[in-house]
């Protein structure tokens, strides 16, 4: 079975329709979406409506959650004060134009979708706001996968695609309940191979090029393909400026990077949702 996994569309309708064309060419059996349908981009209603109309199983992203519950930023939401200021401006704009039925749709999205030995989430299984960066301590990354009961965890949120294979995990531990007696002397905890697959971003890529990224996963061959798709990003950039959103969103979309605001602290762990 061939799966396409899309994430972080961020109101970029042009990128979404181009990626969906590419998905069709790849002859996939099923599409999954990892949320953040809205935020930053100029077409949140159109993007969410299209994803909903195609019946794509979708999890709730951090932006989707904030549009439903109100802005409740935690330390991990924004990597800098500047980013937070711009993020809040985008939130206010999105909140104003979002249709009630789209808000309802975003509200009922689950945090995690589990399908056989695959799990799909936006940031991490414990919080839509937590970044599973490729440099995150391996044991913590392993814990996030195991918490879902899956072998493969698909996530987004970082906007940069990667495949991380966690192998040969073993941990020796002992438990003692008083000064003299070990009740669980030298136990060993081992795991089979687990994977974290980050789908990157359709609508706001940050891998250094403006092209949309997404993942194709072949469940039979256990094969991952990272797709990079060119689209007319200038159209979206023009719409961002036209709608009065912060101009830097257009700038970084054209560059495929975040300007001085990369969320790049792999030691930071989210305190929400645990």
Instruction: Supply the minimum distance, in Å, between the C-beta of residue 179 and other proteins.
Output: 5
Shorter beta-carbon distance to other proteins: residue 29 or 165: 165
Instruction: Supply the minimum distance, in Å, between the C-beta of residue 101 and other proteins.
Output: 26
**Separation of alpha carbons 22 and 216, rounded Å:** 11
Q: What residues between 162 and 181 interact with other proteins by CB under 8 A?
A: 162-179
Torsion angle of the four alpha carbons 123, 124, 126, 128, in this order, in degrees rounded to the nearest 10: 10
**Separation of alpha carbons 32 and 9, rounded Å:** 12
Would you call 30 helix, strand, or coil by DSSP?
Answer: strand
Contact pattern for other proteins over residues 190 through 209, marking x by CB under 8 A = ----------x------x--
| Site for other proteins contains 157 (CB under 8 A) | no
For residue 36, which of 5, 14, 58 has the smallest C-alpha distance? 58
| Site for other proteins contains 230 (CB under 8 A) | no
| Site for other proteins contains 75 (CB under 8 A) | no
Shorter beta-carbon distance to other proteins: residue 45 or 158: 158
| Site for other proteins contains 189 (CB under 8 A) | yes
Structure tokens at 90: 């985008």
**Separation of alpha carbons 83 and 57, rounded Å:** 30
Asked whether the beta carbons of 3 and 31 are under 8 A apart, the reply is: yes
| Site for other proteins contains 221 (CB under 8 A) | no
| Site for other proteins contains 160 (CB under 8 A) | yes
| Site for other proteins contains 50 (CB under 8 A) | no
| Site for other proteins contains 184 (CB under 8 A) | yes
Instruction: Supply the minimum distance, in Å, between the C-beta of residue 137 and other proteins.
Output: 6
Judged by CB under 8 A, the residue of 146, 241, 248, 254 near other proteins is 146
| Site for other proteins contains 53 (CB under 8 A) | no
Residues contacting other proteins: total by CB under 8 A: 43
**161 CB contacts (<8 Å, ≥6 apart)?**
198, 199, 200, 207, 213, 214, 215, 226
| Site for other proteins contains 108 (CB under 8 A) | no
**Separation of alpha carbons 219 and 136, rounded Å:** 26
Structure tokens at 83: 């980013």
Phi, psi of 54 (to 5 degrees): -85, 0
Instruction: Supply the minimum distance, in Å, between the C-beta of residue 67 and other proteins.
Output: 18
Asked whether the beta carbons of 170 and 139 are under 8 A apart, the reply is: no
| Site for other proteins contains 161 (CB under 8 A) | yes
Beta bridge partners of 217: 3, 224
| Site for other proteins contains 155 (CB under 8 A) | no
> Could you list the residues that contact other proteins (CB under 8 A)?
134, 137-143, 146, 160-179, 183-184, 186, 189, 200, 207, 213, 226, 228, 267, 269, 271, 273-274
């Amino acid at each position: 079975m061939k799966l396409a996994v899309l994430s972080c569309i961020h109101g970029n309708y042009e990128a979404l329709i181009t990626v969906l064309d590419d998905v069709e060419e790849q002859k996939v059996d099923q599409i999954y979406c990892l949320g953040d349908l809205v935020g930053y981009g100029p077409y949140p209603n159109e993007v969410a409506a299209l994803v909903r109309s195609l019946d794509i199983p979708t999890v709730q992203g951090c932006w989707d959650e904030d549009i439903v519950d109100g802005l409740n930023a935690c330390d991990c939401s924004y990597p800098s004060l500047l980013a937070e200021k711009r993020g809040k401006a985008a939130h206010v704009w999105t909140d104003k134009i979002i249709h009630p039925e789209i808000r309802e749709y975003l509200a009922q999205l689950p945090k995690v979708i589990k399908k056989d030995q695959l799990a799909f989430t936006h940031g991490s299984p414990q919080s839509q706001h937590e970044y599973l960066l490729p440099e995150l301590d391996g044991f913590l990354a392993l814990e996030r996968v195991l918490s879902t009961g899956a072998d493969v965890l698909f996530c987004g949120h970082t906007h940069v695609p990667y495949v991380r294979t966690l192998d040969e995990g073993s941990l020796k531990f002992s438990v003692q309940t008083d000064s003299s007696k070990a009740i669980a002397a030298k136990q060993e905890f081992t795991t089979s191979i687990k994977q974290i697959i980050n789908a990157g971003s359709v609508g706001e890529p940050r891998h250094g090029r403006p092209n949309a990224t997404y993942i194709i996963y072949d469940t039979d061959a256990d094969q991952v393909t990272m797709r990079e798709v060119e689209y007319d990003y200038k159209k979206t950039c023009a719409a961002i400026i036209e709608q009065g959103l912060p101009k830097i969103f257009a700038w970084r979309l054209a560059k495929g990077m975040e300007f001085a605001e990369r969320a790049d602290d792999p030691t930071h762990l989210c305190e929400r949702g645990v």
